[in-house]
Structure 1
């Protein structure tokens, strides 16, 4: 794998290791990922080849030579309090921890929600303290992703890395089709004035879920029916209040996260509107929040367990010399009492 450092020298690849060891590329890959089904002589040949080619700069290869597993960094590019406020992040953290534990690789949590934290994270990772990065909640224009690419450390994003598709591996739910299915469900229930509270426009969920909403409504998705929130409960409250002020006759709202939907439900209740009789509400994620609201929230289920497993799989592929790849996973509509 060649890392884009401008004119940086070419890094040794798994093919170079295979040629130096006199074994197949598949044998090298298995040796780097635990040594299963690899003979002792072949394993030793790969270890020697890793040293001579310099492939030790790769995290999996370094682990092979030192016989010590490096950790992987779980980097959240949000303020620290969001880790505790948004249940999705803890689910992703737990899933990644469990998936990596199966490979005896520990996970290190880092937050990079401001410039000071981003710089500290960049320095720590560039110094080689971790063998890979699982990047969560990346925003368009955030320089951290480009900085991480330049370190040469394998990176996998959770969600489509807007502007870096094809250059950065990622695992994501099919946000657009999930949003489309929920808005179709609202129309099937007879709703005609459907608004949306979209996520931040610099995030993949903010872009893709809004696109799904517009796919269904077409010209009916007027600007007055669209508000943006920040995926927080307070953000959902503020956006819902703005929508009601502008569009008091709306009869449904698709909200791009369950947490924002919970805030929207609070505002609708305070305004005297009944859910779902007056206004139907749908969310996105199927987090614990969706099951605790009153009424229980119709939502789009993200396959978080599969997403975390795919993130780890893609990271292991990168460490064995594979090019960046993507895994886009289907969502599921979960109908409850709010629609």
Structure 2
């Protein structure tokens, strides 16, 4: 009696992976971790599985690279620890694969032209986009490529099909709720840029929390997430609202600038003015006083963006992700 040949499912069960991973190993896909590849190869040998050669020949041709395109050409970009942590997260997942990571700063016309050449030449398998502004041409360029595209964050003009974001609105709401719970009533904010989704979402969270408490939301100045804009915004708030007793600052970098101005103006933190930031980058633990802030999982955002993209490249249709935020209480509030 002829024995039944082993199946793909049996290989997957023996290796402790999905059948999709087995198929990727058989088809020599580039983005399989070394550990998974070794487990599948060992299982194939143990069960005596013989891959279908004709099926392997139909495997999609891979270029072996993915693009991370950031809508910025600011030379100070990498001084912003948010971007550094996102890139660290992206790289951590890429290192588990055989893929190369191509990084583009593509806010300028020249930067976008360079990216377009790569995409037109099919020099990459997929694209991740970060720091997009409203009606950003980078989004249209990536969509026109026909490649899988994952957004880090959402856009104001549309919700992309695939994205990974943090709960910016909920986090800002929690920050202001906490300030209210400590007895603060004259609360201001230095917003992020209001032409990007994160900036608007954090501003809306600020307004919602104050409205629910029956408090004024009129103490508002706009910033751009930089330390300099946080300092400028804090100075304006103090000039225009000298009775201010708390401030929600929409990024930790801006909050560091705000703390400097409060110190220069002789305001005690948190005695006179309590301060809460957003992100929980390393700087938040190093400010004087240490910064109470909303932690978003920045490195995890980069990791999950990459994982979603790899699943898209494999022909899957993953769901978008919104990562949770949490309040971290330190000395500034």
1:26 Cα shift? 8.1
**In the alignment, what sits opposite 1:278?**
272
Match runs of 1:24-39 below 5 Å:
28=23, 31=27, 32=29, 34=32, 37=40
CA–CA distance in structure 2, aligned partners of residues 287 and 26 of structure 1: 35
Match runs of 1:248-259 below 5 Å:
248-259=242-253
Q: 1:187 to 1:131 in 2, by over 3 A?
A: same
1:220 to 203, 215, 219: 215
Secondary structure of 2:165 counterpart: strand
**Structure with the greater alpha carbon radius of gyration:** 2
Structure 2: runs of 5 or more not aligned = 1-18
Q: 1:106 to 1:26 in 2, by over 3 A?
A: closer
1:233 Cα shift? 0.6
CA–CA distance in structure 2, aligned partners of residues 235 and 333 of structure 1: 23
**In the alignment, what sits opposite 1:141?**
135
**In the alignment, what sits opposite 1:201?**
194
Give CA-to-partner distance per residue, 1:119-145, whole Å, 9 cap, x none.
222222222222111211111111111
TM-score between both structures, scaled by the size of structure 2? 0.83
Residue 41 of structure 2 corresponds to residue 48 of structure 1: no
Deviates more, 1:280-289 or 1:126-135: 126-135
Match runs of 1:12-23 below 5 Å:
none
- Whether contact under 8 Å (2:88, 2:299) holds in the other structure is no
CA–CA distance in structure 2, aligned partners of residues 294 and 240 of structure 1: 16
1:230 Cα shift? 0.7
Secondary structure of 2:275 counterpart: strand
CA–CA distance in structure 2, aligned partners of residues 328 and 109 of structure 1: 24
1:240 to 227, 234, 253: 234
- Whether contact under 8 Å (2:186, 2:216) holds in the other structure is no
1:193 Cα shift? 0.6
Deviates more, 1:28-37 or 1:169-178: 28-37
**In the alignment, what sits opposite 2:11?**
none
Deviates more, 1:327-336 or 1:100-109: 100-109
Residue 124 of structure 2 corresponds to residue 130 of structure 1: yes
Residues matched between the structures, number: 299
TM-score between both structures, scaled by the size of structure 1? 0.82
Secondary structure of 1:81 counterpart: coil
Residue 256 of structure 2 corresponds to residue 262 of structure 1: yes
Match runs of 1:48-197 below 5 Å:
48-50=57-59, 61-63=60-62, 70-165=64-159, 167-197=160-190
Residue 331 of structure 2 corresponds to residue 332 of structure 1: no
Give CA-to-partner distance per residue, 1:50-82, whole Å, 9 cap, x none.
4xxxxxxxxxx222xxxxx61211211112323
Give CA-to-partner distance per residue, 1:167-211, whole Å, 9 cap, x none.
431111111111111111101111001111111111121011111
- Whether contact under 8 Å (2:87, 2:299) holds in the other structure is no
